[in-house]
Amino acid sequence: MRHTLAVLVENNPGVLARVAGLFSRRGFNIESLAVGRTENPAVSRMTIMVEADDRVLEQVIKQLRKLIEVLKVQDVTKEEHVDRELALMKVNAEPAKRAEIIQIVEIFRAHIVDIGRKTMIVEVTGDEGKVNALENALRPFGLKELVRTGKVAMLRGTRDMTTNGKEVEE
Amino acid sequence: MKKKMSGGEILVRSLKREGAEVIFGYPGGSVLPIYDALYDADIQHILMRHEQAAAHAADGYARATGRAGVCMATSGPGATNLVTGIATASMDSSPLVALTGQVPTALIGRDSFQEADITGITLPVTKHNFLVKDVNDLARTIKEAFYIATTGRPGPVLVDIPRDVSGGTARYVEPGPVELPGYKPLVDPDPAMVPAAAKLIAEAQRPVIYAGGGVVSSGAHEELRRLAELIMAPVTTTLMGIGGFPGNHPLSLGMLGMHGTRYANYAVCECDLLVAVGARFDDRVTGKIETFAPEAKIIHIDIDPAEFGKNVRVDVPLAGDVRRVLQKLLDALQGASHQAWMERVDTWKKEFPLQYDTNGLKPQFIIRELDLLTGGNARITTEVGQNQMWAAQFYTYTRPRSFISSGGLGTMGFGFPAAIGVQVACPGETVFDIAGDGSIQMNIQELATVVSNDLPVNVAIMNNGFLGMVRQWQELFYRRRYSYTEIYGPDFVKVAEAYGAEGIRVTKPNEVRPALEQAIASPKPVFIDFLVEREENVVPMVPPGGSLSNMLG
């Protein structure tokens, strides 16, 4: 099963190598990894997608927690959460095909962010399924380039990482 | 206003503040400012002859004392030579602080002379590592390094110090308490789990305690003995757990696993409760994992929650310092008696003792003689292979930290330099490295270290002219095709004498006792070259991937 892990780390040089190295040397598979700073400049947040059964997942989480610079690890897969991914797709777009592409882009509430002589760049944000669906819809036109950021995720409502997934008392 | 100090001076002061008494090191260009500070510092420095040996010596010191061992090397090749020693300490959870020089910060990343990315290289084999980029961070970093190395599950920490940092100047500021928000070592177990464990123990009819290195490192040997006696459970130890339970105790089963005793392995196979104490279900212990302790419920006590369920399923995990967990557990337990079970175990003990025949000069006999002569009170280090297994099987270890061996990584060349660290930590005690003729050649240059530092380390070489353990596997599993395992060695007596140590050659059983007596009495380091039976095997043996119930030999 695929899991989405939210990982808070100290924003130090080398911390990405520590996390990535842990995955590779213990034979865990990273499907995607997105990292950036948080509301606290000293803390970065990674969203890691990992394909693992329960036993492996438990090891992944425990081994991550052993890293000194890892502050918090949470599996948000089964929690109520929002996840989003952004993708840029450069698609073949001869003038005759453009109207059709624009129509598809509108259906997906995506955007066209660049138009070249024979291509357009489409920007889409959404959950994985939506990005996959758009990719499949545009593929027949000829996808020249595709880049995806990897998923970022956040718990819904008042719960947050600092309360470890438990409801905050209001 | 306080006077400014060099980075090297700050380092020395920080080491002293952490209670470090000795550094095992080797100088070089990038550590010149540190060595300049050491020149008139009130801290001992042992000059090794190879950086790998420095790491093993610091590791041996740590295992003998429970305090962090400190080693030091220069940048580049000095640092990379430490790596095997660091990995050895990592696999056996030994508290090591490795200090390395680095090229000046401005030259990092430019493939400078003697540059190696040692924090990158040691990432997978350290508990944590640091690159200090500002001399003002040095004192605090050293404090954090010792804290991380010695707390929680101990392990090696490397601190990489560029030459402009050790050569820079700053005011020494006493670091405050360590604050590492991502590092909170466990101490006490979850109180809710203790009654669950106590219930399983109360219900057990055939309990076995399986004790590992965590017993030794947490100082829980006394609690372990009380637990075993209270619930009347036999105790088997891993290689790392040797000494954590007295080998001469009636409840002792000796070691389990691949070269464990038959009675330990049979007891594990038939027990209905296995209490794992500071052990990690290594493949050399479990054999075929599907058939390991098939009838047992498992209680697993460990400081590292990542060990629970890593290799076997666990019924009750108890996370925390082994000693504290055992104290809480003892408070929750009633005495128990398992007469029928103990009788069964004792029958196995009588039926399947460790044994060897006495035709010719046998390594087992030599180790038994050493055991009798020293009353089980010597500090024993080992190399890796047959010598290590015989040392584990035939010496009676009665106290913790008296058996020091590379368990997890299995590092040949460990024993001799480790013995140096042990002898430095325990002056006046009898220290023996039980070696093979292959392993001893991997760090034989340390003869110069023991001679020049007047360290009366004894090395008992089980010289069979083979890489014995590999030869044994070739005999058993590769139709005696001894591919490159017959190994030529020098005249070890002459080598020892050339360095200024003493050398003794033994070829007959009746020469063993006098040679050992002579070595123990000698104020010099001694090599004893025992020309043993060449094709003796370590038995009994669980073939690789086999079940513990099915032993050869």
For residue B3, what pLDDT is reported?
84
Chain B's closest residue to A14, CA to CA, is B120
> In order along chain B (553 residues), what is the average pLDDT of each group of 10 residues?
89 98 98 97 97 98 98 98 98 98 97 98 98 98 98 98 98 96 93 96 98 98 98 98 98 98 97 98 95 96 96 96 98 96 98 94 98 97 98 98 98 98 98 98 98 98 98 97 97 98 98 98 98 97 94 90
- Do residues A71 and A119 share a domain? no
pLDDT at A164: 54
Question: Which residue type sits at B340?
Answer: A
Query: Which helix (H) or strand (E) covers residue B45, if one does?
Result: strand B44-47
Q: What is the pLDDT of residue A163?
A: 53
Chain B partners of A67 at a C-beta cutoff of 8 Å?
182
In the prediction, which pLDDT does B460 show?
A: 98
Domain region containing A125:
82-152
Q: Tell me which residue in B119, B181, B182 faces A14 most closely, judged by beta carbons.
A: B119
Chain A nearest-CA distance from B317, in A, is: 14
Q: At what angle do helices B51-65 and B77-91 cross, to 10 degrees?
A: 30
> Does the pLDDT of residue A65 top 70, yes or no?
yes
Name, in order, each residue with C-beta under 8 angstroms of A163's C-beta and a sequence gap of 6 or more.
none
Which CATH number is correct for B193-351, 3.40.50.1220, 3.40.50.740, 2.40.30.10, 3.40.190.290? 3.40.50.1220
Look at residue A169 in the predicted model and tell me its pLDDT: 42
Q: Which residues of B476-513 are buried (b: 16+ CB within 10 A; e: fewer)?
A: eeeeeeeeebebebeebbebbeebebbbbbbeeeeebe
Amino acid at B309: G
Do A14 and B306 count as a contact with CB atoms less than 8 A apart? no
Residue A101 domain flag: yes
Express each pLDDT in B473-532 by its tens digit.
999 999 999 999 999 999 999 999 999 999 999 999 999 999 999 999 999 999 999 999
With beta carbons under 8 A apart, name residues in chain B contacting A17: 120, 123
What pLDDT shows up at residue B546? 95
Domain containing residue A7: CATH number: 3.30.70.260
Name the strand (E) or helix (H) holding A97: helix A95-107
Asked if B62 and B68 touch (Cβ cutoff 8 Å), the reply is yes
List the structure tokens of B151: 């707390």
Dig out the tokens for A74 from the structure: 């949470």
Name every residue whose Cβ is closer than 8 Å to that of residue B337 and which is 6 or more positions away in sequence: B232
- The β-bridge partners of B467 are none
Q: From CA B225, how far away is CA B249, in angstroms rounded? A: 9
ipTM, two decimals: 0.90
Same fold for the domain at B4-171 and the one at B193-351? Answer: yes
Beta-carbon count within 10 A of B125 CB? 21
Residue A170 has what pLDDT? Answer: 36
| CATH number of the domain to which A129 belongs | 3.30.70.1150
d(CA A20, CA A14): 10
| Level-2 CATH architecture, domain B363-531 | 3-Layer(aba) Sandwich (3.40)
Q: Which residues of A touch B308 (CB under 8 A)?
A: 62
* DSSP β-bridge partners for residue B502: B526
- Asked if residue A165 is part of any domain, the answer here is no
Look at residue A167 and tell me whether its pLDDT is greater than 80.
no
The superfamily in CATH containing domain B4-171 is Thiamin diphosphate (ThDP)-binding fold, Pyr/PP domains (3.40.50.970)
- From its phi and psi, is residue B469 left (phi > 0), alpha (psi between -120 and 50) or beta? alpha
Strands of B22-25's sheet in order across: B44-47, B22-25, B69-73, B96-102, B156-162, B128-131
Decide: B221 and B349 in contact? Cβ < 8 Å.
Answer: no
User: Is the confidence at residue A168, as pLDDT, over 50?
Assistant: no
The pLDDT of A123-139, averaged and rounded, is 96
Nearest neighbour of A68 by CB, restricted to B183, B305, B308: B183
CB B292 within 8 A of CB B152: no
Higher pLDDT, A162 or B165: B165
Give me the percent of chain B exceeding a pLDDT of 90: 99
CA nearest to B286, candidates B552, B548, B538: B548
Q: Which residue has the higher pLDDT, B545 or A165?
A: B545
